[in-house]
Chains A and B, each alone.
Chain A
Amino acid sequence: MIETDILIIGAGPCGLFTVFEAGLLKLRCHLIDALPQAGGQLTEIYPKKPIYDIPGFPEVLAGDLIEDLMKQAAPFKPGFTLGERAEEIEKTDDDQFIVTTDMGTKHKAPVIAIAGGLGCFEPRKPPVPNLSDYERKGVEYIIKDPNFYKNKRVVISGGGDSALDWAIYLAEGVAAEVSLVHRRSTFRGHLDSVQKVIDMSNEGKITLLTDAEVVGIEGDGKVEGVVVKTDAGETVKACDHWVPLFGLTPKLGPIAEWGLNLSKNAIDVDTFDYSTNVPGIYAIGDINNYPGKLKLILCGFHEATLMVQSAFKRIYPDKNLVLKYTTVNGVSGF
């Protein structure tokens, strides 16, 4: 069991800055994130994009901002559970919480700070009829073990790097047959991967279907073929697996079942201290909602700062909290 003072769900900018603000009050933090790295949307979606509205930074790349937030948090030695999704929460007899991830890792803390952004990143599912009926019966959204496709006929959909890279990998002696279906004739992946796919298509190792889309699945209880639509009409491509790789999209996920008041796909909070309707659980950053809410990183930083003050009082009801200025006292870590 991992124990800490503030358990932060979500290791995006807001969660990371919470570590710093909590650290100034001598509170320890541990972060859980479904993504395999810290940074949330900033590292997952737009690491190379500049952000212009962080006070004091006329322009900063999203990836660099996360790196600096990690540096700022480092003196306070945050713990991380990455690549695991916070799944269940339970209240203990001593007024604490236990949060269990999808991998079964347990975390205990008196305060939970949900800084989950727009939720957990999950594969984007294409709107194909009866899709869910074929999940784990030939439809996979993530390739975990390529050997799973040994000697199988595989259709991959998508035009990004993951679609290109997996098509190449599986076509090099793993799968019996690989087809790549893409909506356009140009790809957005790395140029050398694109060239490689075109070369392999010319060599007959990959069946490349461009300006095409999978619009249906056929099969009795498992995938036996997909319906491919082009300008010329619809044809059925026989296969054992269909792997649609359309990137990730955030979903509120299991947090929606935690008994918190929700509205507009976000958690309602009191702007006094960003507390939710459950004492001890707070929500900060893009995941919360209150009158006048703006989904901006800088607002999340402010929310984190006020939230840890309230968290301190919950953890140490008898201690007096005096705001210390870092300009006077500096920053002393753990």
Chain B
Amino acid sequence: MSRHLKFVQGNVACAEAALYAGLEFFAGYPITPSSEIAEFMAKRLPQSGGKFIQMEDEIASICAIIGASLTGRKVMTATSGPGFSLMQEALGYAVMTEIPCVIVNVQRGGPSTGLPTHVSQGDVNQARYGTHGEHAIVALTASTHQDIFAITVDAFNFAETYRTPVILLLDETTGHLRERLDVPKKDEIATVGRLKTSVQQGVDYHPYLPREDGRLPMSDFGGAHRYNVTGLFHDMWGFPTESPKIVYGLIRHLVDKIEHNADQMTRWKEYYTDDAPTVLISYGAASRSALHLVENRRKRGEKLGLLELQTLWPFPHALVREKCRHARAVVVVEMNMGQVLQQVKLAVDQPEKVFLANRIDGELITPTDIQNIIHVIQGKGV
């Protein structure tokens, strides 16, 4: 039997993957249901030569990882809704300054301190719009430990490739659930390293001057080059500017580098979507219930399909439109009031055929809940 086989919580699968991806610095403030990630890092990160710091709060945590990333380290923090709210300002700073970092939000019920130990998927829109100003963001999720591992490595790779914060939207159910994890062998999943400038010491380094391919090589802060980093609109030197031309160019760059590469970042799984008149769209823990139902109904000849989204932002509108083209009904299964539902309605040709199957009471939506809602949509009653 493989010595890499483990039986662990989803939070641990995420943490294992972060180490695999090359994490070197973690700053965090423990909060249910994400605390196991910090607990794991406190023990394991120093063993692999990295640094773990428990900060005084979530604001300090995200600021610490941004600073550490600027010095050339791969960084992560983990929190839940209340902490993610506190991180929004610095998240915008990381977007503006283009500093790679991974922020895990193991979602629990909200608003406010809400339901600390219960599941929710209420932070999908917060991940996208929580920080102010026009911008783009990357947010990923997964529903099994094997997929959480893979998507966590993707999160680090996207952060480095596009110089952006990446948000991992896990949830209480998958975070605390224990199941098998087969840790991939070294190099089985490709990892992207930091793109560093080839400009020598003593030669002018422009931190915000893109290469021909659009990428911005970094220089470890405090190292060979002196340069400025600011949350204000800035020029290629990193110094503040109000020049409309430069302001326009920067905001276009921040949005386009994500939106134009959306295809590269779209991750999904699909089950029986080809012939299904009813297609379910789900993600995270809710998609486990959806898949359970789909597999059970298939055995009885009912043609249900499932599109499981792993990339939530940038939202894969083209993919959703394609997979729902022949469906008579599309049912979005999620644990909020329809945050992904709204995007699916924007994506498809006939928004009136899109329905919501949700649960917002802190309990995991069950296959029976979904089936009852499908029966209502089909005019069969419950």
Whether A and B are associated in the same complex: the answer reads no
A-side interface residues toward B, CB under 8 Å? none
